[in-house]
Structure 1
Amino acid sequence: MAGRGWAVFPIMPGRKWPPAWHTKDNCAGRGPCAAGHVTPESLATTDPEVIARVWSRAPYNVAVFPGKSGLHVVDCDVRKPDEPAGPDGWAELQELAARRGGPLPDTWTTTTPSTGRQLWFQTPPGCRLASTVKHIAGHVDTRGWGGYALAPGSVRADGAYELFDDTDPTQLAAWLVQANVERAPTAVSGRREKAVAAPDAYISAAVRGEVDRVVSARSGTRNRVLSTAAYALGQLVGAGLLDETYARTELRAAVATWNTPDSWVKDDGVIDTAMRAGADNPRRAKPRSGTRRAA
């Protein structure tokens, strides 16, 4: 693993979890923390001398910290025996790929003792993706910054982690980046809870106008154009004229046409910040009553 440039950390033989680790608040400042508080993720290493010295002491399991290694791992779990019948994580991920337009590319893949599978991808340049739990699907977790995955050869009491596909890790697809960073719809209350009546055509035209401006934005202007569009749609959301989830989906689809997945995390932050600012300053203008016919 370290030979691939992947940062590793020892896990006690037969176990899945790292040793209990203290927090910064109760750090004693001794041992590895003598020069300041550290975490297993910060201690994970690719140094062959350190690795040889540590693993000579015991047949430790190998934890890979994906974020530090430029990786993102998609962990597909199986359904538990007490769960009702339904798709497992692998089936859910395939369904998600089909719905998002996929594809789900071949990549370096391992299997877990519970017969689940973990897909290892390269993180696109500029992306810093956190770990998630049941975020992109009910039985799919992801391992990025703040998380780790056990490497093939690691053993638990119920079985071993094994290599399933030795294809070199491919870059995380744009639709998977997007699924990882999407936020759940924000709950609203008070004046935003009840939508104000307005013709669908009026709102649709407003959304389409902003989305078209984002799609056609030239490099160097995109951040400003996206912020302006998100603010305008946020004003409609704040006025109860537009569904927030729909607005976000349309803006993210527009950003996807730029084909710049390395900036999607930043772009999603722009959408979130600008929409919230717009919602705090809701638009009160209504469409004119009646329509005009062309002469």
Structure 2
Amino acid sequence: MVSTDSAALAGLRAAALDIAGRGWKVFPCRPGTKAAYWHSLPDCAGAGVCTGGHVTPEQLATADPGRVAAKWSEGPLWNIAVFPGPSGLFLLDCDQPKPGHKGEHDPDGWTQLRALAAERGGPLPDTWTVETPTGGRHLLYTAPPGCRLRSTVKHIGSNIDTRGWGGYALAPGSLLPEGGYGLLDDSDPAVLPGWLVQVAVERAPTAVSGRNEKPVAAPDAYTAAAVRGEIDRVCAAQPGTRNKVLSTAAYALGQLVGARLLEEAYARAELRGAVAAWNTPDSAAKDDGVIDTALRAGAANPRRVTPRSSPSRAA
């Protein structure tokens, strides 16, 4: 059983305030767990802050020191979830292989990440890093301006997850039965290198991307706004409507692909990231099939776009 002594409570409060003091948004997790202290959509009573519709911990996460101090002074030993997306950050979760899971016979996530950096010829700068109780590490980077990166699971490596929009990670000071999260490197978060932005959005069939993969270009402002609208719609889809919403969103993005305004790999990665936010791994294969089918159908019926005059962009 997790202790509730005053020293541990003070330590967690100080840790939560330190995170919030950096401008990063936090939310309490149940003592000794990774579970956010909040109700799920099916259990939402539509009252309080949810009167106008169900809200999520990501929407409620805060960096306000007064609110953080009050919450972490209440008594339970709330663990600390930090939400990278609304904090302007992106987190790489380099895990240890887990028996019985994909990647159990592969190198650990940190080794995979360094190998990927060497293959891509990109830098892997020192950044704010947390050590997990199981020997993994979380590397926190600043997301490039205007870059909205979604959370992924085993997308860039069999033992590497990412946490952006739609995800969170436990912060230093948090406690699990197997141990605590500790700060390994207190460097300021470095800007996420361009090669990592690319690998986070492209479709990678293996842990380390192949040589024949083509770089994925970021969409222009018009297309990016359209993508954000569809992705936000998928993320907010409620059980019972998700298949239809995902299909129509993938079809709409497929039309942009057909019009050569959007790369298919980028669209697929964004849609997969949105689906990951549902936390329904049992339907992952079915959801992938919906994405592929609807993207192809949309691409076969390209969207007609009338170009609007705009100032030329600087080189």
TM-score range, shorter chain: 0.5 to 0.7
Find out whether 1:177 has 2:197 as its counterpart: yes
| Residues 28 and 165 of structure 1: CA distance in aligned 2, closer, same or farther (over 3 Å) | same
Alignment of 1:115-264 (within 5 A): 115-183=135-203, 249-250=213-214, 252=216, 255=217
Cα gap change, 1:278/1:149 in structure 2, threshold over 3 Å: closer, same or farther? closer
Residue aligning to 1:62: 80
Give runs of aligned pairs for residues 68-83 of structure 1, distance below 5 A: 68-81=86-99
Give the match for residue 45 of structure 2. 28
Q: CA deviation at 1:280?
A: 3.7
Q: How far apart are the structure 2 equivalents of 1:42 and 1:85?
A: 37
Contact 1:251 1:271 in 2 (8 A): no
- Of 70, 89, 97, which aligns to 1:53? 70
C-alpha deviation, 1:170, in angstroms: 0.3
Kept after mapping to 1: 8 A contact 2:106/2:158:
no
Counterpart-to-counterpart distance in 2, 1:142 and 1:278? 28
C-alpha separation between the residues in 2 aligned to 1:184 and 1:82?
A: 22
SS at match of 1:270: coil
Distance 1:145 1:3, change over 3 A: same
Amino acid at match of 1:51: V
The structure 1 segments of at least 4 consecutive aligned residues displaced by more than 4 Å after TM superposition are: 81-85, 265-269, 275-279
Deviations 1:171-218, CA, capped at 9 Å, x for gaps: 001111111111257xxxxxxxxxxxxxxxxxxxxxxxxxxxxxxxxx
Q: Quick check: 1:72–1:122 contact (8 Å CA) kept in 2? A: yes
TM-score where L is the length of structure 1:
0.64
CA distance in 2, matches of 1:29, 1:74: 34
Aligned-pair Cα RMSD in Å? 3.0
Q: Secondary structure at the match of 1:42?
A: helix
Q: Distance in 2 between matches of 1:2 and 1:38?
A: 21
Match of 1:217 in 2: none
Aligned pair 1:102/2:122, yes or no?
yes
Shift of 1:85: 4.4
> What is the one-letter code of the residue matched to 2:54?
H
| Alignment counterpart, residue 11 of structure 1, candidates 29, 45, 67 | 29
What do residues 105-150 of structure 1 show as CA deviations (whole Å, max 9, x unaligned)?
1100000000100100000000000000000000000000010011
Q: 1:26 to 1:96 in 2, by over 3 A?
A: same
Go from structure 1 to structure 2 and tell me whether the alpha carbon gap of 1:112 and 1:280 turns closer, same or farther (over 3 Å shift): same
- CA shift at 1:87, angstroms? 1.1
Report the AA paired with residue 81 of structure 2.
A
Distance 1:246 1:152, change over 3 A: closer
Provide the residue aligned with 2:241 in structure 1: none
* TM-score after normalising by structure 2: 0.60
Name the CA distance, whole Å, in 2 between partners of 1:70 and 1:159.
28
Deviations 1:21-70 (A, max 9, x none): 221x6531123323432111101001112112111113311100000100
CA–CA distance in structure 2, aligned partners of residues 64 and 17 of structure 1: 12
Identity fraction in percent? 56
3-state secondary structure, aligned to 1:73: strand
Number of aligned residue pairs: 210
Q: Unpaired runs of 5+ in structure 1? A: 186-244, 257-262, 282-295
1:251 CA drift (Å): 5.1
Per-residue CA shift, 1:266-290, capped at 9, x if unaligned? 99972227x9699749xxxxxxxxx
